């Protein structure tokens, strides 16, 4: 892989894979959060109805909050 050192042992490779998987989970979570924020901004910009904006905000927020 360009930009990454070549692992010298299976243990090094396993560590690198674990770090990359952690980074991937972090990035996926950030994308989810940014998607919700974008949807909220679009809903706010497309409606002047306060109740509709609040409903959308609550519904979208519930999709990213932990159970």
CA-CA distances (angstroms) from residue 12 to 26, 35, 45?
Answer: 21, 34, 49
Could you give the number of structural domains in the chain?
Answer: 1
Write the pLDDT tens digit of every residue in 43-61.
777 766 778 878 888 887 8
Average pLDDT on 7-18 reads: 86
Residue 44's domain comprises 34-67
- Nearest Cα residue to 39 out of 18, 59, 67: 59
d(CA 63, CA 67): 9
Look at residue 8 and tell me if it is in a domain.
no
pLDDT at 23 (0 to 100): 97
**Residue 9 within a domain:** no
pLDDT band with cut points at 50, 70 and 90 for residue 2:
low
Q: Does this model's pTM top 0.75?
A: no
3-state secondary structure of 41: helix
């Amino acid at each position: 892989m360009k930009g990454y050192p070549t692992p010298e042992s299976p243990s090094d490779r396993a560590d690198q894979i674990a770090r990359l998987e952690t980074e991937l989970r972090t990035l996926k979570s950030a994308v989810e959060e940014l998607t919700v924020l974008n949807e909220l901004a679009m809903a706010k910009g497309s409606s002047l109805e306060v109740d509709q904006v609040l409903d959308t905000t609550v519904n979208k927020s519930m999709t990213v909050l932990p159970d």
